[in-house]
Amino acid sequence: MPILQDSDTKAGESTDPLIFKQLANNMPVLCWMADASGYITWYNNRWHEYCGTTPAEMEGWGWQSVHDPATLPDVMRAWTSSIESGQAFDMTFPLRSATGQYRPFLTRITPYRDEEGRIIHWFGINIDVAEQEETAKRLKEQSYALERVLAERQAILDQLGEGVIITDADGEIVYMNERAQILHGQKQLGVSPEDYTSTFQLLTVDREAFPVAELPLTRAVRENITTADGEWIIRRADGSEILAKGNAKPVYDEQGTKIAAVLTIRDVTMTRANERALKEALDAKEMLLYEVNHRVKNSLQLVTSLLSLQAGQGSEELRHNLEDARARIGVVARLHGQLYLSSMHDRIEAGAFLKSLVADTVEALKPSDSVTSAAECDDNVMLLLDQAIPLAIIVNELVTNALKYAFDDESEGTVSLAVRRCDDGKIEIQISDDGTGLPEGFDPMASSGLGMRVSYALVQQLRGELTFTASDPGTIFSIIFDPAPMGPVR
């Protein structure tokens, strides 16, 4: 029987109440029938099974006993209003079960009329909607929780210092955080990969239109490629430009299906400008240091030349003293010349420099062609200029003394250099010869000679120790000191 139609039931539509009752008794929903006044005369079996009632208990207005007292007044008003108006009505209200629990039911009450339009019966049906309402409640709670999570994530993403752009699996932009909008000077959603370049005015660092296929985000979408530290220029609508740097990667779900792609970008315009300025400053400093070392070398060479001229015009003692001074200044000039030729301006590789210094000194001052030099140096022993200069002068003094006193005009022998790193981190420099050795009882440290006094004073400046040992044959001088800590190359 069409009791759920929106229009009223009409006579002649197979309206026999007995047929309705037979059908309704086998229905899983609650059904009932009332006369024209609203007096309920019958309930189906399902009603009594659910409510745990008998027909006698429910007859007439007995149905009120299974209604929730809190909603019963509203139900009564709606039902009496419907009886007076003759209009069908729908309402959801709770009914008490046989166990005393209340469950919500969607109720539809429809009038049945005779041929003159008079109401002769009312038919009611009650459908249990507890599960639907519980599902709706859970969906509402889940929706609220999801909204909170999305709001929190939105707030987090908007607080990031980096711009974030998210696309769907096909590359259409679905999200831009606040920083991304600021970097681009606009917010554009729904943009597809083929329109990335034109929409956001993306340029290569050479200011050409960036090929769409080569954009990091496009590659993440189309080729599933992760790109790190890509760079491009964003030209905003107002004509301003920024240099952007970013990473792009595809995003997959737990099953390995690509569901999105994400691009993070940051503005590196000022960073690059600062790097260029720093490089220009370093280049200028480099040129200045080259020039300083070159000028110092030239100035010292001029001084040595003047000393040589002066030595030729004085007494033998004056000539000797001026030549010694010229040699010492020459060592400093030589070191600055080495710095000028290298890429470092505040430090020098000790082994290579001292080896060259010893070899050139021996070649210039050797008393016979049979006197040679030798060297055994650890690699990459670096010294700052403040230590390299006094050490070079000391080595020059010790080598000069060896050539003067350890050999005669017919001697054969070797002046040797050793540069070593010690286990305790110190550096040891040895100057040795295989000549005649020191006179018995002679203590170089107590010598009144200027060379030894200079050497001893400079060793003190290094905070080191100068010792000597007689060998068979010859003498060994050893300098041990702590290398100064080094910062970055200047």
Q: pLDDT digits over 172-190, tens only? A: 999 888 888 889 999 999 9
Pair (263, 277) in one structural domain: no
- Residues 117 and 165 reside in one and the same domain: no
* List of residues 6+ apart from 444 with CB closer than 8 A: 438, 452, 468, 477
| Amino acid symbol at 374 | A
In a domain, 138, yes or no: no
* Mean pLDDT for all residues in the chain: 82
Residue predicted with more confidence, 228 or 16: 228
Phi, psi of 438 (to 5 degrees): -80, 150
Report pLDDT for 409. 78
Q: Is pLDDT at 3 greater than 90 in this prediction? A: no
pTM of the model: 0.41
Q: How many residues does the chain have?
A: 490
- On whether both 203 and 319 belong to a single domain, the answer is no
Which CATH number does the domain housing residue 171 bear? 3.30.450.20
Residues 416, 376: contact at Cβ < 8 Å? yes
For residues 43 and 26, membership in a common domain is answered with yes
Alpha-carbon distance values, 319 to 18, 394, 401 (Å) = 147, 21, 17
Residue 150 — very low, low, confident or very high, per pLDDT cuts 50/70/90? low
Stronger pLDDT, 373 or 144, i.e. the higher one: 373
Say whether both 87 and 101 belong to one domain: yes
Task: Please indicate, yes or no, if residue 147 is contained in any of the structural domains.
Answer: no
Q: With cut-offs at 50, 70 and 90, classify the pLDDT of residue 14.
A: very low
**In the numeric block, which tokens belong to residue 333?**
């000039």
User: Is residue 442 in a domain?
Assistant: yes
Q: Using DSSP, state whether 45 is helix, strand or coil.
A: helix
Identify whether 142 is part of a domain.
Answer: no
3-state SS class at 18: helix
Q: Are residues 424 and 371 in the same domain?
A: yes
Is residue 107 classed as helix, strand or coil in its secondary structure?
strand
pLDDT tens digits, one per residue of 220-254: 999 999 999 899 999 998 989 989 999 999 999 98
Range in 14-18, 219-223, 433-437, 485-489 the model is least confident about: 14-18
pLDDT at 469 > cutoff 80: yes
Q: Are residues 394 and 425 in the same domain?
A: yes
Is the residue at 146 inside a domain?
no
- Could you tell me if 429 and 360 lie in one domain? yes
User: What DSSP string runs through 189-244?
Assistant: -S--GGGHHHHHTEE-TTSSBPPGGGSHHHHHHHS---EEEEEEEEE-TTS-EEEE
Looking at 267, 302, 328, which one is the last position of a domain?
267
pLDDT-derived band of residue 336, with 50, 70 and 90 as boundaries? low
Looking at residues 480-486, what average pLDDT do you find? Answer: 89
| Confidence category of residue 13, pLDDT binned at 50, 70, 90 | very low
Please give the structure tokens belonging to residue 434: 């295989």
Q: Which of 319, 220, 307, 235 is nearest to 269 (CA)?
A: 235
| Band (347; pLDDT cuts 50, 70, 90) | confident
Contact residues for 188 (Cβ-Cβ < 8 A; gap 6+)? 173, 176, 199, 200
Picking from 345, 380, 400, the residue at the C-terminal end of a domain is: 345
Predicted pLDDT of residue 145: 72
Provide the residue range defining the domain that includes 52. Answer: 17-128
CB 165 within 8 A of CB 265: yes
Structure tokens at 176: 């831009």
Residues 485, 355 share a domain: yes
* Residue 285: band (very low, low, confident or very high) from pLDDT cuts 50, 70, 90: low
How much is the pLDDT for 333? 62
Whether the CA torsion 290, 291, 297, 301 is positive or negative: it is positive
Q: What is the pLDDT of residue 76?
A: 93
Phi-psi region of 86 (alpha: psi -120 to 50; beta: other; left: phi over 0): left
pLDDT range class, residue 345, cuts 50, 70, 90: low
Of the residues 214, 235, 267, the one at which a domain ends: 267
Tell me whether residue 304 is in a domain: yes
pLDDT at 160 over 80: no
Instruction: For residue 140, tell me if it sits in a domain.
Output: no
Q: What is the pLDDT of residues 39-64, one digit of tens each?
A: 999 999 999 999 999 999 998 999 99
- pLDDT, position 193: 93
Nearest to 264 by CA among 286, 244, 282, 280: 244
Whether residue 322 is found in the same domain as residue 386: no
Q: How far apart are CA 187 and CA 171, in angstroms?
A: 16
CA 189, CA 176: separation in Å to the nearest integer?
Answer: 8
**Is pLDDT of 318 > 70?**
no
| In a domain? residue 155 | no
* Per-residue pLDDT tens over the stretch 417-433: 999 999 999 999 999 99
Give CA separation, 391 vs 196, 247, 351, 400, 424, in Å: 65, 52, 12, 14, 20
Least reliable range by pLDDT among 331-335, 361-365, 476-480: 331-335
Angle between helices 385-405 and 450-461 (to 10 degrees): 150
Task: Please check the confidence at residue 310 and state whether its pLDDT lies above 60.
Answer: no
Do 304 and 386 belong to one domain?
no
Mean pLDDT of 379-408: 86
Mean pLDDT confidence for 93-108: 94
Q: What pLDDT band is residue 291 in, cutting at 50, 70 and 90?
A: low
Q: Is the pLDDT of residue 329 over 70?
A: no
**Does residue 349 register a pLDDT over 50?**
yes
DSSP letter at 99?
T
Mark whether 262 and 273 lie in a shared domain: no
Q: Considering only residues 246 and 308, tell me which one the structure prediction assigns the higher pLDDT.
A: 246
SS3 of 206, please? Answer: coil
Residue among 469, 460, 370 at smallest CA distance from 418: 469
Considering its fold, how many domains does the chain have in total? 4
> Does a cis peptide bond (omega within 30 degrees of 0) precede residue 473?
yes
